[in-house]
Structure 1
Amino acid sequence: MNAVELFVGAGGLGMAVSQAGFRPQLVVDWDRWACDTIRENRKAGLAPFTSWPLVEGDVRQIEFSNIRETIDLVTGGPPCQPFSMGGLHRAYLDERDMFPQAIRAVRELRPRAFVFENVKGLTRASFANYLEYIRLQLRHPELGAKSKETWHDHLIRLEDHETKGRYRGLHYNIVMRVLNAANYGVPQKRERVLIVGFRADTGIEWHFPNHTHSQDALLWSQWRTEEYWDRHKVAKRQRPKDAKGQARARKLAEQPQESPWLTVRDAISDLPDPELQPLLAKAYHDHRFQPGARSYEGHTGSPLDEPAKTLKAGVHGVPGGENMLRRADGSVRYFTVRESARLQTFPDEMLFHGSWSETMRQLGNAVPTKLAHVVVNKVHDSLRGNA
């Protein structure tokens, strides 16, 4: 089955698409640094980058009619700055809003399915009407805006069309949900909205995968069986004080069936501390100490024995101090690129191009590969069963 990946960035979602068994016919991003990351890994022979037909450029200039193969899946994470809590919150007024291009790709390529990802901020009440506008455009992609028609007038026309109940031409059945990556085995509390659609003529019934991991299971392993501390060889005197966590664990009537949330310690404990063990850290690619971390109200870093806070990109992430590890003694330091890649479940073999701040921007914008894999795998299985 064939796929097109838009706004690929560092490749978190794109890797999951390839690993699920789709063959990419086009991979697009405008960002030079992200494209250099992909090219560097392709040069190093790292799959699946070696097979990607990468185009560096503005998706608005892409002619999808040049693709001769039938496309089964379109995926991507349209730039999220218009909806991010750290951005200007301009949505449809923001020229960086690329959802119109995602919708154009669906209209012109007519894929059997699509998967689009964005920040949780897209679901805020202030964007409710625009989110519905996005949903209805994806549901009825051929019903495009007329010349000089405002988005609000177009929304009204789409609502009228939706309420008819009978549709001719291209239309999609859509499900949308906010997923927490920690609930799927990612060592990071990263909430993202996933929009999944299937072309109506496929007749596919689909729902999001069930959670596989939980906070309660982590608390059980920490404060009931203490298996977590034993596995990491953490003595009782070195364990953090977590009165709330212990109280919640005591209230659990039985052991949760899910796997425990993965923590920062789970993700990086085998790596030497780049600040305290700089010589040992040199043996690991992209694992260098970055000075300047400081803690202040609202930016206190990620505790070692919980999933990391959401890695961020831009001024509210890297220089702002949120992409930090908070050690048990309260001291903080920035996560290295390698540690951040692990928190995003990128493979250790993957290389990143650019300065520390530029690379952290790529990582802060990425979809955790493991979360993407869970969703895309299920889409692939549904399409294969429908073929």
Structure 2
Amino acid sequence: MKAVELFAGAGGLGMGLSLAGFEPLAVVEWDKWACDTIRENQRRDYPLVRNWPLHGGDVRDFNWDSIPGGIDLVAGGPPCQPFSMGGRHGAHGDKRDMFPATVDIVRRLQPRAFIVENVKGLTRSSFANYFQYILLQLEFPEVTLRGNETWADHLKRLQEVKTSGGAHGTGLTYNVIPTLVNAANYGIPQKRERVFMVGFRADLGIEWSFPRATHSFDALLHAQWVTGAYWEKHRIARHSRPAIPAQLEKRVARLASEPPPSREKPWRTVRDALWDVPDPRARKRHGFLNHNFQDGARVYPGHTGSPLDLPAKTLKAGDHGVPGGENMMVRDDGTVRYFTVRESARLQTFPDGFVFHGSWTETMRQLGNAVPVALGRIVAASVAEQLAEAAIRVRASERRDERSQA
């Protein structure tokens, strides 16, 4: 299946697409350091990005007429700063808002489906109208903004189209499913909440829902405090295990009195993700790429790091590196240190053989902005399955028509 990726960053979502079987016809990213990371891995002949047609530049300047018609997927995560909890929250008034460009590309290419990812902040009540505006533009991409029209007036017109059932001859339409997702519920060792907006062209008749969660906090608590299987797996003796946190005692007691969770696996923790990664200060050569110690980690109110026995807090990316002294691990003795680039890559489920280009600040920014590779694969594989089934239905209908005409 053919795809186009916008705002590719260091390649997290794109690698997930490749693992799900999509072949990119264009991979577009404006950031020099992120492009250098992809090119460095291409130079190293890394399989997942080896043949990516990478284009460094603004998606608005790319020649989209060069992309053949009939592509299967447009995917990307428009810059999140206009909506992030740590940004200036400018939304439509922020020049970094790339949702208009995303809608324009969907309108031009008319893909069978799209995957758009963004930060949880987009769903805040202060952005409610603009979030609805984004969704309606993606649903009716050919109902475009007029020259003298404000975005609020455009929203009103889109709402009228929606309530009329698209009776105004809107042409191209999509069934759009927005979902707020915690990556930890899908086996990512990080509590990372993101919004996925997945759309299928309405003429395909596809009914889709976001993949069911595979991991849970309750299953982790059961493995830690009911059976002890978690500690045994990590060879932590009973006398070295921490006490059950007071705020979780009642929850653990309830889990102990119920049948064990059967459908879901335990959340993956920092310890699970980094069990075989040595301390970056060890003198013995470890052979891990991008695994260098970074000094300066400290704790202060609101910035306390990630405990080893939970999924990591959301990895962050600020305009000037790691914001607020976060992206730290809390070790067994209570001290903290920054995650190395390789450890952060593990938490974002990048393969160990994938290298990151640039300084610690630049590489951490790439990682903080990335979609976890494994989560991208899960979403893309679900979309690919639906597109394949739709293609089979179309082909079966064509064969029936051919037989009836014979």
TM range (shorter): over 0.9
The answer to whether the 8 Å contact 2:69/2:109 transfers is: no
Inter-partner Cα distance in structure 1 for 2:209 and 2:323: 39
Contact kept in structure 1, 2:321 and 2:362, CA below 8 Å: no
Larger displacement relative to structure 2 (67-76 or 303-312)? 67-76
Tell me the CA shift for residue 148 of structure 1. Answer: 2.6
The match for 2:272 is 266
Q: Is the 8 A contact 2:3 2:71 kept in 1?
A: yes
**Counterpart residue identity of residue 194, structure 1:** F
Pairing of 1:1-387 with structure 2 (within 5 A):
1-167=1-167, 168=169, 169-241=171-243, 242-252=245-255, 253-257=258-262, 258-275=264-281, 277-281=282-286, 283-314=287-318, 318-387=322-391
CA offsets per residue over residues 95-135 of structure 1, 9 Å max, x none? Answer: 00001111011000000000000000000000000000001
* CA contact 1:71–1:109 (8 Å) conserved in 2: yes
Q: Deviations for 1:241-291, whole angstroms, at most 9, x for unmatched residues?
A: 32333432221112112100000000001111113x24344x211111100
Q: Cα–Cα, structure 1 residues 299 and 213, in superposed 2: closer, same or farther, change >3 Å?
A: same
CA RMSD in angstroms, aligned pairs only = 1.2
Counterpart of 1:173 in 2: which secondary structure? strand
Q: How far apart are residue 316 of structure 1 and its match? A: 8.6
Measure how far apart 1:328 and its partner are.
2.1
SS of the aligned residue for 1:279 comes to coil
Distance in 2, matches of 1:307 and 1:278, equals 28
Counterpart contact for 1:272–1:280, Cα < 8 Å: no
8 Å CA contact 1:346, 1:369 repeated in 2: yes
Give 2:222's aligned amino acid: W
Structure 1 residues without counterparts, runs of 5 or longer: none
TM-score scaled to structure 1, two decimals? 0.97
* Aligned-residue identity in percent: 61
Larger mean Cα displacement after TM superposition, 304-313 or 247-256: 247-256
Instruction: Give 2:358's aligned amino acid.
Output: G
Report if the CA contact (8 A) 1:287-1:336 is conserved.
yes
User: Would the aligned equivalents of 1:3 and 1:73 in 2 still touch at CA under 8 Å?
Assistant: yes
Q: Which runs of 5+ in 2 are unaligned?
A: 392-406
In the aligned structure 2, how far is the partner of 1:129 from the partner of 1:32? 33
Query: Is the contact between residue 77 and residue 118 of structure 2 (CA under 8 Å) also seen in structure 1?
Result: yes
Structure 2 letter corresponding to 1:328? D
SS of the counterpart of 1:28?
Answer: strand
TM-score (norm 2): 0.93
Q: Using the alignment, how far apart are the partners of 2:350 and 2:200 within structure 1?
A: 28
CA distance in 1, matches of 2:74, 2:295: 40
Equivalent residues of 1:117, 1:193 under 8 A apart: yes
Asked whether the 8 Å contact 1:16–1:369 carries over to 2, the reply is: yes
Point out the more displaced range, 307-316 or 227-236. 307-316
